[in-house]
A and B are shown apart, each in its own frame.
Chain A
Amino acid sequence: MSPIEPGRPPAIRVEDPSFPRARWWARYVVDGDPPQQRLVFRLGRILGVVCLSCLSVYLALATALWGYYGYYRKIPDVSWADVVVLPRFSRVQAAIGAHYFSEAKRLWDNKNYAQAIFTARAAVVKSPRNLDARLFLAGCWQEVFRFDEAVRTLRDGIEFSAADARLQKAIVGTCLACGRFGDLLEMLRKDLPAKGVRLLEGREPVYRLAELRAVLETAGPAEAERVAAHYSGIDELPAAAPLLALIDWDSGRREAAFTRLQVARDREPNDPSIQDAYVDTALRIGKSDEARAASQSFLAAFPDLESAQLRFLEAHGSRQGPDKAPWMDACTRFLVRFRHRPEALGRLASLASSQGWPDLAYLLYQNSLQDNLTGFPFAVYYVGSLVKAGDFREAESVWHDLSLRNSQQLVSASYLGAMVAWGTGHESEALQITQQLQQETAKDPTRRLRLVEIFNLFGFPKIADELGRPQS
């Protein structure tokens, strides 16, 4: 039987016994004229094997990576399919980010702050859409007084979660708490609208009030009034009363500020921020009896509220005669209630400093040493209370004591050094510090304004004038 069938190309002979044995990837054929033996590759098979090998290697690598994440790094929720299927790999990143986030929270709870922040940053980098991780990181930065990083973290989130109300609220809250008014204005007016989020045109007044506050802080009361005029009906909002009263106050309309708060308080007696602003304004305007009565009703309405207790203490701050017993009682209650909350105790110490209560400031300093093994920042509040109380000798002695080994911690309170120096007759030294403060605050008018207020509050108008004077 002839192997050549009619119609097929002649002279091709396969598997001739005299040829070398065929392989899976090639075979020998005879063709041409005269017939010659040649090797023909089985390209289909070779391609098939190469593809299969690549697939195997890819799957092996993907499995190894999956094993690395799942077993070696112990990252939960990493599925094999997510690792293998490339378009699903973002899910792996999200799982890693979530793992870092939970790890960061654990580290923070264990007071390993630096490591916690480092891990939270990794979580945000791995999974930038994870808003919880971003908010956590921003909160951590804020806790450690790294306000620039806190604001930057939130600002970067606009790219991914601009429409999320949690991010919007966090931006407003953080910027107001950290005094980053310029950043807040930029985000409200530029960054968020660029992503199609127009909060200032929305129904929630909280963003317009935040903008107003930022304008007041950065551009002054006149500009704030101009902005407020754009928002119709804002005058009618009781929640806006404290801010509008502040604008009134800064514009020199003190009585108007007080009246505005009085009206708002009558209309909305359950708003603690109005009550708080009302007592504050009454105290500043010198209506001590009214402040006492208002603080009493504020405390009665909100007995557990920290600000109500602080306002009560402030209103009864003479600590003499009829104020003595209620002040001591309220102070003890505050100390007992907020004993384990350093930030609340810090606010009490700040009040003690501004009111000149060295005994309370010193007690809080001792308590901080006992509880946290650090005298800071309470030692600084103690110096402030001594200055306010006029005990400059003791203030100088304490300041000197601290500056020997803790000068770094005193850098941020150098204004106190100026007051101590002025109070002890070293006026040129005080002016030197003031000049330094002038340089430091050249690009931060908000901080300078705050320092001027502090100098005035503590009874150093000359230093305040010197600091507020435009530099030549």
Chain B
Amino acid sequence: MALGPKGAKAAAFDSDQAADASMQMQRQRLTQMFQGKLSDAHPGAAERAAREFIEHLRESSPIAFEKLATNQMDDEELNSRAEVYLRDHPELSGQSIIASTETPRTRVADLLKGEPGIGSSDAERLANADRFIDRLKELSGAAHESLLSGRMTTEELQSRVKVFAADVRAEATVATVDPAAAAAVPIVDSFVKANFGRSTERADSVCYKGVITENGTKREFVIFKKRPRKIRIHIIENGLVIGVLGFDGTTAWRQAKGQPAIPVVGSDADAVVNSARFDDPLVDYRERGADVRLEGKAGSGPFLLHIRERDGVEMVAAVDPVKFSEVSLRTRRENGRWDEMKFSDYRKVGTLSFACVQEDWRDGALRSTTRITDVRLDPGLLDRFFAFPQESSLGFMEYMSALAIVEARATKAGSAPRQAP
């Protein structure tokens, strides 16, 4: 039955009233709970604490707030949350602090052992511990510091871990019913944290040079990338750039030495555009609308994470369970076969872990090996650098052409080009 505007308004009003009444009840419930915990505080403190706690919950965890509002939060969880809240606000309660010498990560992982549904292996629990520590930092800097310095009491940590576990379980219930997808979340979070750092710390652009060996032929290159999807590739021969490929987010182009730039279309353009992806497929996959599921883990082998992009592209990333580095990335081709990139020799550049050796395997055979020799983050890449080059008598490829002519003349004359003293 359809409701008219008036009816809808009335229904909304009723619904609001019901919600208000429910919150009123929860507030009373919390006031009673806080009265027990703040017996020494001045009158009215419990009521104020209950009010503020509800506000805090509304802001920090909408899912938990919804549970409370609909009276689905049991006493144990509410009690844990209330204790955590009180510890975050020491002006309301005074707790003695006992220093701990255990590493925070291990402490949290140990406590997570007692929480059902939060990781079945040590590696998963450690990943969840990382996530817990990250989340704690976002929620309360003081508590985060207290945990890292080992000053957080076991009771407090236990309460916080319980709240975290409840949140994780609630998220898993609300966000997905697929346990494989839920299991992938902490692994991906740990992977991202270990290899790329926090989103605010991540580089906006990167450039690296290296050598690709294919069929016994070596070719030098320099690649420049910038968010969101800009790329420029310099192909080098005898120290001079002989060709440039670029994509500025809308137009793919290429330019050969001494020739004007031309747009690239078709499958060639696709190849350039596909290589313009800045981050690993596991980074920000939720924001991109991709699905990631934990496919499995063979013994002490890597986690296998299956990625399905919104456009249907399928990939399987193998992540090392100890270092959380990506061991390989398989991509399904249109013909159903899988290509595989194997990564090794990771080096840390800023917050980025960079695989300096990348092997391209196709149908079980090694096609090419890329060795990266130098990586720079945020080297000052301008947007214009990726755009279709404007014609200029001092164009970059014209300059390369001039250099090539000089080199050729010098070679013909049987001597190296003159160098500055």
A residues with CB within 8 A of B: 304, 306, 328, 331-332, 335-341, 344, 359-360, 362-363, 365-367, 369-370, 373-376, 379, 382, 397-398, 401-402, 404-406, 409
Contact = CB atoms under 8 A, between A and B. Distances in A.
A409 B381 CA distance: 13
B351 to A, nearest CB: 13
B147 interface: no
Contacts of A304: 421
A379 B383 CA distance: 12
Nearest to A344: B420
Nearest to A374: B379
B383 A405 contact: no
12 contacts: A331-B394, A336-B406, A336-B417, A337-B418, A340-B420, A344-B420, A359-B392, A362-B394, A370-B222, A370-B234, A373-B209, A404-B204
Interface in B359-410: 374, 376, 378-385, 392-396, 399, 402-403, 406
B402 A336 contact: yes
Contacts of A337: 418, 420
Contacts of B392: 359, 363
Contacts of A379: 380, 382
A405 B385 contact: no
A339 B207 contact: no
B82 interface: no
B384 A398 contact: yes
A405 B402 contact: no
A405 B203 contact: yes
Q: Is the interface of A mostly helix, strand, loop or mixed?
A: helix
Contacts of B420: 306, 337-338, 340-341, 344
B253 interface: no
B184 to A, nearest CB: 31
A366 B222 CA distance: 12
Given A369-B380, A373-B222, A375-B379, 7 more contacts: A304-B421, A335-B403, A336-B402, A374-B379, A376-B379, A376-B380, A402-B382
B237 to A, nearest CB: 13
Contact of A369 (B385, B395, B402, B421): B385
B227 to A, nearest CB: 10
A339 B382 contact: no
Contacts of B96: none
Given A337-B420, A338-B420, A359-B392, A367 B382 contact: no
Contacts of A404: 204
B241 interface: yes
A304 B234 CA distance: 31
B402 to A, nearest CB: 6
Contact of B207 (A340, A367, A369): A369
Nearest to B402: A332
B379 A398 contact: no
A236 to B, nearest CB: 32
A374 B396 CA distance: 16
A339 B384 CA distance: 23
Contacts, number: 82
B358 interface: no
B381 A369 contact: yes
Residue from B204, B207, B209, B393 with most neighbouring chain A CB atoms (10 Å): B393
B38 to A, nearest CB: 47
A299 to B, nearest CB: 16
B335 interface: no
Given A340-B420, A404-B204, A374 B234 contact: no
A363 B382 contact: no
Contacts of B34: none
B384 A367 contact: no
Residue from A359, A366, A382, A397 with most neighbouring chain B CB atoms (10 Å): A366
B419 interface: yes
Nearest to B241: A370
Nearest to A324: B393
B382 A375 contact: yes
Contacts of B406: 336
Interface of B: 203-205, 207-209, 222, 224, 234, 241, 374, 376, 378-385, 392-396, 399, 402-403, 406, 417-421
Contacts of A373: 207-209, 222, 374, 376, 379
A406 B378 contact: yes
Contacts of B204: 404-405
Contact of A335 (B399, B417, B418): B399
A140 B379 CA distance: 23
A423 to B, nearest CB: 18
List of 9 A-B pairs having minimum Cβ-Cβ separation, nearest first = A375-B380, A373-B376, A359-B394, A405-B378, A405-B204, A366-B396, A374-B379, A379-B380, A363-B394
A338 B403 CA distance: 11
A113 B380 CA distance: 21
A375 B381 CA distance: 7
A358 to B, nearest CB: 10
B393 A359 contact: yes
A335 B394 CA distance: 11
Nearest to A335: B399
A457 to B, nearest CB: 23
A363 B393 CA distance: 10
A363 B222 contact: no
A379 B419 CA distance: 26
Contacts of A363: 392, 394-396, 399
Residue from B209, B222, B384, B403 with most neighbouring chain A CB atoms (10 Å): B384
Contacts of A375: 379-382, 385
Contacts of A401: 382-383
Contacts of B378: 405-406
Contacts of B203: 405
B240 to A, nearest CB: 10
A73 B224 CA distance: 43
A373 B379 CA distance: 7
Contacts of B393: 328, 359
A332 B399 CA distance: 8
A36 B207 CA distance: 97
A405 B203 CA distance: 8
Contacts of A382: 382
Nearest to A409: B380
A401 B384 CA distance: 10
Nearest to B379: A374
Contacts of B385: 366, 369, 375
Contacts of B383: 397, 401
Nearest to B375: A373
B394 to A, nearest CB: 4
Contacts of A332: 402
A331 B208 CA distance: 29
A405 B205 CA distance: 9
Contacts of B395: 363
Nearest to A375: B380
A252 to B, nearest CB: 39
Nearest to B383: A401
Given A336-B406, A339-B403, A373-B374, A402 B380 contact: yes
Given A336-B406, A344-B420, A406 B380 contact: yes
A382 B381 CA distance: 12
B417 to A, nearest CB: 8
Nearest to A379: B380
A269 B343 CA distance: 63
Contacts of B379: 369, 373-376
A363 B382 CA distance: 13
A379 B378 CA distance: 13
B266 to A, nearest CB: 27
A332 B241 CA distance: 17
Contacts of B374: 373
A243 B39 CA distance: 85
Contact of A374 (B376, B384, B399): B376
Contacts of B403: 335-336, 339
